[in-house]
């Protein structure tokens, strides 16, 4: 037998599931938007590191060939590059940026920091050499440092490019996973929504069946033998309770009607027999009219029989009146034309 559930329980359960899913979808969407903006910020920082690497190399080559030793832009690019590496490794709580998202990216970041340390050493040597007095040894050393900066810059730039690609792939993978989670949530939402419609249709069908039977009882002209309402096994608790109440009322009404009909038949039968006895007494009285004493006693008996007959007739009328009142009570529930 199917498990019976109340209508309120079904509605509460379906409502709870729908609310949970809606909250999940909304939360996932908010998280996706937030992560997209944060990941875009991180990718922008990594991309800027690549730009700063090129900027430092261009500034060094420019000062080397123009002999204009102004290191303001170079120092600014170095400071910004160092700050960017620190944010990528440790994050920035104020801007909502977290530390390295994966071991693979962390390994690549460590490699970039190692190469950056070497590259920064060449930059510092360059700044020291260019301010020294010009000598052949100094010029040779300066040329060597510039060549090393050129080689190191290419290696650093390539590794920063790899880092940019890794952060971009990580962001896209994260967005892809969150998008898949959204699609799954929407799919589950549709399933629960369809299930909710089916459950509501089932509840509506049970209620319609109950209302149809109720109208059938109201519109019925013959209440002598009402049939109990047949309840579907999957009916909800509320429908079952109301149906059982109506069936109980119908059973009592049928029992009362049966009782009144039986009492009416018995009273009519008794009335007929008493009338037969009365007729018999009348014939006996005619035969024994010579005895005044017997006549007197028989007359008294006849009076008693007549009185009993009248009482039975009155009882029969009362029972008939009771039956009519029950019929009128049922008809009063019927809609007026």
Report pLDDT digits (tens) over 171-186: 888 888 878 877 887 8
**Model pLDDT, residue 16:** 81
Same fold, 7-203 and 237-332: no
User: Concatenated DSSP letters for 67-93?
Assistant: -----HHHHHHHHHHHHHHHHHHH-BT
Neighbours of 330 (CB within 10 A): 18
**Model pLDDT, residue 53:** 92
Which residues fall within 8 angstroms of residue 70, CB to CB, at 6 or more apart? 63
Alpha helical stretches, state H, the chain: 7-66, 72-90, 103-130, 136-219, 237-287, 292-332
SS (H, E, C) 46-74: HHHHHHHHHHHHHHHHHHHHHCCCCCHHH
**Model pLDDT, residue 113:** 92
| Greatest Cα pair distance in the chain | 183
C-alpha–C-alpha distance, residues 28 and 185, integer Å: 9
**Model pLDDT, residue 21:** 75
**Model pLDDT, residue 266:** 67
Contact 130, 69 (CB under 8 A): yes
Which residues fall within 8 angstroms of residue 301, CB to CB, at 6 or more apart? 281
C-alpha–C-alpha distance, residues 99 and 106, integer Å: 9
Contact 73, 63 (CB under 8 A): no
**Model pLDDT, residue 197:** 81
**Nearest by Cα to 259 from 248, 251, 247:** 251
β-bridge mates for residue 92, sequence order? 97
Residues of the chain with pLDDT under 50: 1-2, 292-293, 333, 337
Tens of pLDDT, residue by residue over 256-266, are 666 666 666 76
Contact 25, 182 (CB under 8 A): yes
**Model pLDDT, residue 298:** 53
Place of tokens 């002209």: 221
Could you tell me which CATH number the domain at 237-332 has?
A: 1.10.287
Place of tokens 């440790």: 90
Q: For the chain, which residues make up each domain, given as ranges?
A: 7-203, 237-332
206, burial (CB in 10 Å: exposed 0-12, middle 13-18, buried 19+): buried
Contact 41, 91 (CB under 8 A): no
Phi, psi of 277 (to 5 degrees): -65, -40
Q: Dihedral of the CA atoms 69, 74, 75, 81 (nearest 10)?
A: -170
For the segment(s) 7-203, the CATH number from 1.10.10, 1.50.10, 1.20.120, 3.40.50 is 1.20.120
**Nearest by Cα to 298 from 312, 273, 277:** 277
């Amino acid at each position: 037998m199917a498990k019976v559930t109340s209508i309120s329980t079904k509605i509460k359960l379906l409502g709870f599931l729908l609310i949970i899913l809606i909250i999940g979808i909304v939360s996932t969407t908010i998280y996706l938007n937030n992560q997209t903006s944060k990941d875009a910020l991180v990718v922008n920082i990594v991309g800027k590191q690549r730009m700063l690497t090129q900027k430092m190399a261009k500034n060094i080559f420019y000062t080397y060939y123009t002999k204009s030793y102004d290191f303001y832009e170079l120092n600014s690019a170095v400071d910004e590059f160092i700050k960017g590496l620190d944010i990528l490794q440790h994050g920035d709580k104020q801007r909502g940026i977290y530390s390295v998202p994966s071991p693979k990216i962390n390994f690549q970041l460590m490699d970039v920091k190692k190469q950056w340390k070497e590259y920064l050493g060449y930059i510092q040597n360059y700044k020291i050499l260019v301010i020294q007095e010009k000598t052949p040894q100094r010029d040779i050393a300066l040329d060597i440092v510039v060549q090393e900066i050129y080689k190191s810059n290419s290696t650093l730039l390539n590794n920063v490019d790899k880092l940019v690609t890794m952060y971009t792939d990580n962001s896209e993978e994260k967005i892809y996973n969150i998008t898949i989670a959204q699609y799954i949530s929407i799919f589950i939402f549709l399933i629960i929504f369809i299930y909710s419609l089916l459950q509501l249709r089932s509840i509506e069908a049970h209620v319609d069946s109950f209302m149809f039977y109720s109208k059938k009882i109201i519109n019925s002209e013959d209440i002598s033998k009402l049939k109990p309402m047949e309840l579907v096994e999957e009916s909800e608790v509320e429908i079952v309770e109301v149906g059982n109440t109506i069936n109980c009322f119908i059973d009592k009404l049928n029992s009362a009607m049966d009782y009144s009909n039986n009492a009416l038949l018995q009273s009519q039968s008794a009335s007929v027999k008493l009338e037969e006895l009365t007729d018999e007494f009348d014939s006996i009285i005619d035969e024994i009219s010579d005895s005044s004493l017997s006549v007197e006693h028989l007359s008294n008996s006849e009076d008693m029989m007549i009185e009993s007959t009248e009482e039975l007739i009155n009882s029969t009328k009362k029972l008939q009146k009771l039956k009519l009142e029950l019929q009128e009570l049922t008809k009063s529930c019927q809609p007026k034309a």
